[in-house]
Amino acid sequence: MPDLPAASPPETVNEYEREPVPEKARLGFKSFIGQYAGEHTAGTELMIGPLFVASGVAAFDLLVGLLLGNLLAVLSWTFLTAPIATRSRLTLYFQLEKICGRKLVTLYNLANGVMFCFLAGSMITVSATAVGVWFHFPMPGLNDLYPNSVGWVVAVLAVGIMVAVVAAYGYNFVARIANYAAPWMTIVFIAFGVVGLREFLVATNTTINSAGDLWNLCQTAIWKGGAPLPGQVKFTFWHVTFFAWFCNMAMHIGMSDLSVFRYARKPWYGLATASGMYLGHYLAWIAASILYALQIHRNPGNTAVLPGPLADGAAGVAGLICVTIAGWTTANPTIYRAGLAFQAIFPQSSR
């Protein structure tokens, strides 16, 4: 009987955690457009958008403040993060280890990894709110510190396992998943805004004949300004601007996205972050705030912020699928960053 060839070992994923990314592994502009659009057009936008309504923001302050704040974020990625990343092509964690020494940087890596796990966890729970609408299990409210049902725990665990599996396959796989999901999710978020506006027209018995009529609706019914909801801080133009700029400070000014842009062929690929900032942190935040303003207009006592029910009321099954996938595609690169941070602590272990 002839000898059978030895089974080849499973192919390992090389993420170049402790060496520069080689030419063969570098990615084109399109990969970063999809990754950032997928990461920042997320289920968490249905949590953040309502924040502006709850904070009593005015229409001009929101629309123009987000425009400016997101521009500053894109410029931070383009002129700070991406040039450094494409020059060294190393992760932030390995660069800090070379500068500060292994012992000093271990604490930073641990804190960074834990922070990204918490961020990913928040995104995973957003996806779980959509699962809750399908399976009708109780979901935690804003004042709950702990899970309030077994179904909620199971849903979060299931989504979390999916996220961990995708992130373990490496950055190329994360970017591919985001490229598939981002265009469809953007369309659904646009639908959220359109449906919300239509329902506002019906609820307020308003007819739109000009841009002035639409602006008047925005000022008087959607983003009215005035006092915030009880327990919330009043937001002005500058609150909105700096919120939009600094909500991802860890990634751009904090240089965490050196781990992402080390794969970029050119430093100007930092402009790809505009896909996430203006589709997610502009369009999606505005659409989500419209849905929440409509909820309060219909029932002033209903101040609950649950992405699943909000999406279900606006777009039905498509909305629920969008929230599930959006939270997932956002958590994927976040868990990937956490893996790099922990791998820097244990360099001999696989990420």
- The larger pLDDT score, comparing residue 342 to residue 349, is at 342
97 within a domain of the structure (yes/no): yes
Residue 183's contacts (CB-CB under 8 Å, 6 or more residues apart) are: 37
* Total number of domains in the chain: 1
Residue 8 has pLDDT above 70, yes or no: no
Residue 271 has pLDDT above 60, yes or no: yes
Region at 170 (left for phi over 0; alpha for psi -120 to 50; beta for the rest): left
Phi, psi torsion values for 29, nearest 5 degrees? -60, -40
Q: Which amino acid type is present at position 8? A: S
1 within a domain of the structure (yes/no): no
84 within a domain of the structure (yes/no): yes
pLDDT tens digit sequence for 163-207: 778 777 766 676 676 667 778 888 888 999 999 999 999 988 888
pLDDT-derived band at 140, boundaries 50, 70, 90: confident
As a whole number of angstroms, the distance between CA 289 and CA 12 comes to: 44
255 within a domain of the structure (yes/no): yes
- pTM for this predicted structure: 0.83
Residue 164's nearest CA partner among 350, 328, 346, 34 is 328
Instruction: Give the domain extent around 325.
Output: 42-345
138 within a domain of the structure (yes/no): yes
